[in-house]
Structure 1
Amino acid sequence: MKKVMFATAVGIALSAVQPATAQEVNESVCGASPGGLWSLVGTGLDAAVKAEYPGSTITYQTSSGGLANIPQVMNGVCLFGMANDGDLVFAAKGIEPFKAPVEGLTAVAVLYDWAPVWWIARKDFAEEYGIEDLNDLVEKKPPVRLVFNRRGLLTSAITESTLEALGVSLEDVESWGGSIQYQASNEQTGLMKDGRVDMLANTLFEGHRSLAEMGESVDLKLIGVPDDAAQAVIEEYGLQPWTISADANPWGDDDVKTVTTSIILFTKADTPDDVVYEVTKSMIEHPDKMGAVSDAMKRFSPEGMVAQDAAPFHPGAIKAYKEAGLM
């Protein structure tokens, strides 16, 4: 009997000094297509959480994108979702496609914000009409053949609104003898290479392969966004200002001003604080896991996770940021 009591006492003593098993995090995140960058970001998120809380799993769930992810998260299909900053702003305000304001959306982290809006023109076209920035386009009214990204996406809405901020409607462009079409990124690249458009507008990473691909076929020029137009879309969509540096500008020696979109990890306000804290802490402690999934994600840093004002931060995320000295 004494031996049993001694063994029990030793077991209790050992359990007191051994660290508690870290809590596992097993949740899902709604992203976009299975083969795109968002799926890679999901892989990085899973790796970061596994590194901090062994045995955890963040399951990436395919979706049609940020606008779809907002109702998915609100309806409990995924605990977390990815969305553009503008998607969250539109949801909170009840702007189409949302029929009413969506309440209870909270931000967890900025996943990346380095996909600025590029306005790219054929160099011969820009030189013929003297176009350095979009104000020149408005003043000269050339018969420009424009291509935006697909309708219904944030990128095309931003580029349309940029022209509207300068007092130009789509009908105005047509009245100049120009045209506007809406195509996905790959189609935009092909149209520019084949000389079937004069200017495109799209969100792209600096150094994106399509920039080099287009530049090999035709001489191009990066067109700037005037400050007043940039500020208008920043306020409308919750964006951030951005400058494409001369080093990142493939066709010039000058910095060029534009705006950039952010991809934000979000959740509902009533998601348990501890779960959000653990996911946020994982990214803060293991940014290398986030950055390892793609060259496009190498810039990921804990400091960048807090650079947004499209939605209020979740209390669990705030706790992690304050502990890390980021808030």
Structure 2
Amino acid sequence: MTKLKKFLLSAALSAGVAATGAAQAQDRVFFGIATGGTGGTYYPLGGMLAQVISNNAELEGKKLSATAETGNASVANAGLLGRGSIESAFVAADILDAAYHGRNQFEGKAITNLRALGALYPETVQLVAQPGLETFADLAEHTVSSGSPGSGQWQLLGDLLAAHGMSRDDIGEDYSSFSQSAEKLKDGNLDASLITAGSPTASITELANGHDINIIPLSGAPIAKLQETQPYYASAVLPAGTYNGVDHDVNTIAVRAIWATHADLPEDIAYAVTKALYENTETLGKVHVKGKEISVETALQSVSIPLHPGAERYFREKGIIE
């Protein structure tokens, strides 16, 4: 074979491979899921949900490939959806409601293109503290982590302080992430951290396995006062034994996590991913205990914003919506 023929054959083969790759890319639809930090519950569940979608979602003539991405949790995730920067995200119900209606930290900045795909599981508010700190009032003049300013955690800590007749001036506020807070608690550089996540939470489990901790209860008249203004916070119990050394039930509060998207997501994709989730919840339950609490029967609990039409179609098929 002459050098010219070899060159032409090689070029033809390269062009063929490139054309095949381009055709495959055109037949593949990518779908992102914004979660949270690696120390929380959003991230592991989001990773398994991405696998469930990739393995089970059906689109006519196309392959749906989902990926989970770490994120800065609810407030940041709502912003990503508002900008259309990602296809879906996990957002706490109270933050999703505030974002859509322009309340609290979203005042004057309503994100009206938000749409719900369905409810997930209750996120437990866990006030993790050094031994010796037993009540919320004990936090006065101690360092407390609330997450980044403007976040859902930050907002909640302010609400809890107000409900207990305190202010941010009464504590030393720290803005660390879940994982960073756990490390600081371990090293004695932090007194307490407010963490809202599905329990057991990986970062707290790791901390409790090598360090004595206390979970401060959130109950009584101050919490009843908070629930009057924040009805998304339901009373909850963190069972004894959830974490090493915590051998008693802890009364606290919880808010449901919602899987959200934006109005521009195509209806067939919204339908396919919603169906993939709620018809494969057993798989999610194998990854995290909170996965067992996701069901189609509770898929509309705490959903206060419009459903995406694709998700609505699925729930009508299942008889959840008449």
**Range into which the TM-score falls when normalised by the shorter chain:** 0.7 to 0.9
Which segments of 5 or more consecutive residues in structure 1 lack a partner in the other structure?
1-23
Cα offset, 1:52, TM superposition? 4.4
Cα offset, 1:102, TM superposition? 2.4
Bigger mean CA deviation after superposition, 232-241 or 277-286: 232-241
TM-score (normalised: structure 2): 0.72
- Look up the match of 1:103: 112
- Look up the match of 1:51: 56
Tell me, in whole angstroms, the C-alpha distance in 1 between the residues paired with 2:287 and 2:270.
22
Which segments of 5 or more consecutive residues in structure 2 lack a partner in the other structure?
1-26
Residues 52-106 of structure 1: per-residue CA shift (max 9 Å, x gap): 4275314337455443443443444434333232331221232435633222422
- Look up the match of 2:98: 90
Equivalent position to 1:241, from 235, 238, 246: 235
Alignment CA distance shift 1:317-1:227 (3 Å) = farther
Contact 2:258 2:303 in 1 (8 A): no
- Is 1:67 matched with 2:75? yes
Alignment CA distance shift 1:303-1:232 (3 Å) = farther
Contact 1:41 1:293 in 2 (8 A): no
Cα offset, 1:224, TM superposition? 0.9
Contact 2:116 2:261 in 1 (8 A): yes
Percent identity between the two aligned chains: 20
Contact 2:102 2:108 in 1 (8 A): yes
Residues 136-183 of structure 1: per-residue CA shift (max 9 Å, x gap): x1xx68543333333332122212211112221012x25xxxx33222
Figure out how many residues of one structure are paired with residues of the other and give that number. 288
Residues 103-134 of structure 1: per-residue CA shift (max 9 Å, x gap): 24221112333x311112333x23xxxx3x43
Tell me, in whole angstroms, the C-alpha distance in 2 between the residues paired with 1:313 and 1:88.
12
Q: Please provide the CA RMSD for this pair.
A: 3.5
Cα offset, 1:218, TM superposition? 4.2
Equivalent position to 1:153, from 147, 151, 154: 151
Cα offset, 1:211, TM superposition? 3.0
Tell me, in whole angstroms, the C-alpha distance in 2 between the residues paired with 1:41 and 1:280.
14
Tell me, in whole angstroms, the C-alpha distance in 1 between the residues paired with 2:128 and 2:50.
33
Contact 1:162 1:233 in 2 (8 A): yes
Alignment CA distance shift 1:56-1:289 (3 Å) = farther
- Is 1:28 matched with 2:31? yes
Residues 283-310 of structure 1: per-residue CA shift (max 9 Å, x gap): 2222234445556635433334332234
Equivalent position to 1:166, from 159, 164, 172: 164
- Is 1:251 matched with 2:245? yes
Alignment CA distance shift 1:92-1:122 (3 Å) = same
- Look up the match of 2:17: none
